[in-house]
Chains A and B, each alone.
Chain A
Amino acid sequence: MKTEKILTKYTHIKDYRNIETYLKYDGYKSIQKAIELGQKGVIDTLTASQLRGRGGAGFSTGMKWSFIINKPFPRYLAINADEGEPGTFKDRFIMRNSPHLLIEGIIVACLTLEIETAYIYIRGEFIEEANILEKAIEEAKSKGFVGKNIAKTGKNINIWVHRGAGAYVCGEETALINSIEGKKGQPRLKPPFPAEVGVFGKPTIVNNVETIANVPYIILNGADKFLEIGVPKNGGTRLIGISGHVNQPGIYELPMGFSFKEAIYSVAGGVLNNRKLKAVIPGGSSTPVLLPEEIENLTLDFDSIQSAGSMMGSGGVIVIAEDTCMVKTLLTLEEFYAHESCGQCTPCREGVPWIRDIIARIESGHGKERDIDKILSICDNMMGNTICALADAAAMPAKSFIQKFRNEFEDHIKMKKCPFNAKN
């Protein structure tokens, strides 16, 4: 398997964050290439590369871009840097270590799709990262990559950093759009999709940071080079964020199709303090939990993880070791989803706090036998019945934790206390 790095190839180099250093390592070269290829050429290249969105849904980026080319002007680009799914910390890595790669991708997108204004929607807590981006944008402006008449094309590009203010749901693209407009971050009904009615009612493309950061490589090197890395239909690399009970948590750029077990046991140094592996959440906290035997032959790509009934999502792998109380762990997650429900749809607003309360009751030793099935029934009544996927994001861990660790829930109820002494 070819293991070339796309996003972190140069991030170890001192001052790579500065434009002068960035320019020495192929920096901003894809802009000229994109101009030569033209709109059709760029979109065809992206489509051929089969680049799939790195935010979680895995939608074809080339196809997404093609939706906007016949739409009226002005059009907007919104970059989703609202990284908030527990277990996910990859976009922060790109913004801290390689801000110009993101900006270069944004410029290629803007030139190709005839967009003059891009907003980077960054979560409010990332103040340092927002400052890094603003400095990088200023540097790009000083070199003529941002501003007026970019590369003598007569086109203008403005990139603005827009800070959120603490709301997980704003990572959903239509909530993000509302939040840019200065509204509560509540998702909108689709259709109309953002490509038709987006920011300020205008056609808009919303792309994740990691997705856009892949664009310069693909444009500069071609779709075939990208597809050589990874496995069929799952080209390129992923920034895999490994956290929880491992010896070396962190961000690792791995080719798609990399062995799941090797990622945990070799790349991330194995399970913390040589404990036994109990469970793995493969792609951010909302993706269904997997057992050690389920990841045995899995590889880190969209299709392999889907075949095991879960999702690659945001690439945030959360490792859970033996002696961890799964009821308590699920409670931590459901407290989060209950806190983050925007309150717009009844099944989510009422359902998520309800399952949180039942799980808390079971955890504290006051659960009833019928409570377990009650949680499952509430989950079924939430899923697919709301405007956005937050209710599903809350239901999927609840269902999979119960399905795979039902005995732990039953033990809590029978023993009228938590059988574990762990504080987590």
Chain B
Amino acid sequence: MGFNMGFEFSKKSIDKIKETLLKYPEKEASLLPVLHIAQDEFLYISQDVINLVALTLDIHPSRVKEVATFYTMYNKKPVGKYHIQLCRNISCSLRGSSNIKEQLEKILNIKAGETTSDGKFTLSTVECLGACGTAPVMQINDKYYENLTTDSLKTILDSLS
């Protein structure tokens, strides 16, 4: 199977996985949370991560892969230290998210879908983030940034080191 044997979860992740397993009567049900834990540690779901998760939960790697590729939040390729996800859906678009996108592309000097050459920022557009009342909205890693204006973007990006 080409397993990379040196590839393991940290002690912190293993503790989190043990806690997660207690929540479900079936081991397989931990797959989504364990993939989140894996992504937190390894930043994206590579084939090595898929194999590791499969070993951990005692399921076939193809089961892990079908789930990892079904859900959009699991990164299938490396992303920057800060993953900017800008909502492009209706309420944000009515409130000018396309201007926000252009401004972000200008500041970062990349197009949506790309990563800056220093690996710091990845810019993606995503579907509805469920915060339509404070549109336009973007999510950077775990945090939401709401009521965006083209003027506020530089301050937000500068605050991230």
A interface, CB within 8 angstroms of B: 83-89, 91-92, 123-128, 158, 160, 162-168, 179-185, 200, 241-245, 249-251, 281, 285, 316, 318, 320, 324, 329, 332-333, 335-336, 339-340, 342, 423-424
Contact = CB atoms under 8 A, between A and B. Distances in A.
A127 B142 CA distance: 6
Given A89-B133, A316-B132, A424-B96, A185 B71 contact: yes
B128 A336 contact: yes
Given A128-B144, A167-B71, A181-B26, A243 B129 contact: no
Interface stretch (B3-11, B84-92, B105-113, B151-159): B84-92
Interface centre among B94, B127, B129 (most CB of A within 10 A): B94
Contacts of A316: 132
Contacts of B143: 128
Contacts of B88: 332, 335
A84 B128 contact: yes
Contact of A424 (B66, B70, B94, B131): B94
Contacts of A249: 91, 132-135
A182 B66 CA distance: 11
A87 B23 CA distance: 32
Contacts of A318: 90-91, 94, 132
Interface of B: 23-26, 28-33, 35-36, 66-67, 70-74, 88-91, 93-96, 98-99, 126-135, 139, 142-144
Nearest to A329: B90
Contacts of B94: 243-245, 318, 320, 324, 329, 424
Given A166-B73, A200-B25, A86 B133 contact: no
B155 to A, nearest CB: 20
Nearest to A250: B133
A332 B90 contact: yes
A181 B23 contact: no
Contacts of B131: 89, 92
Contacts of B74: 165-166
Nearest to B131: A89
Contacts of A84: 127-128, 130
B90 A88 contact: no
Given A128-B143, A164-B71, A244 B91 contact: yes
Contacts of B32: 162-165, 179, 182
A179 to B, nearest CB: 7
Given A84-B127, A185-B71, 6 more contacts: A84-B130, A86-B89, A87-B128, A167-B72, A182-B28, A244-B135
28 contacts: A84-B128, A86-B127, A86-B132, A87-B128, A89-B132, A89-B133, A124-B71, A124-B73, A125-B73, A126-B130, A163-B33, A165-B35, A165-B73, A167-B71, A182-B26, A182-B28, A185-B70, A185-B71, A241-B132, A242-B133, A243-B133, A245-B95, A285-B90, A329-B90, A329-B94, A332-B90, A340-B127, A424-B93
Contacts of B90: 86-87, 244, 281, 285, 318, 329, 332-333, 336
Nearest to A82: B130
Contact of B135 (A184, A243, A336): A243
B89 A166 contact: no
Contacts of A180: 29
Given A242-B133, A243-B135, A318-B94, A166 B71 contact: yes
Given A166-B73, A182-B67, A89 B130 contact: yes
Given A124-B73, A182-B30, A241 B128 contact: no
B99 A165 contact: no
A168 B127 contact: yes
Interface centre among A182, A185, A200 (most CB of B within 10 A): A182
Contacts of B23: 158, 160, 162
B140 to A, nearest CB: 12
Contacts of B70: 167, 184-185, 342
Nearest to A316: B132
Nearest to A81: B130
Contacts of A182: 24, 26, 28-32, 67
Nearest to B101: A423
Contacts of B128: 84-88, 168, 285, 336
Interface centre among B74, B90, B134 (most CB of A within 10 A): B90
Nearest to A321: B94
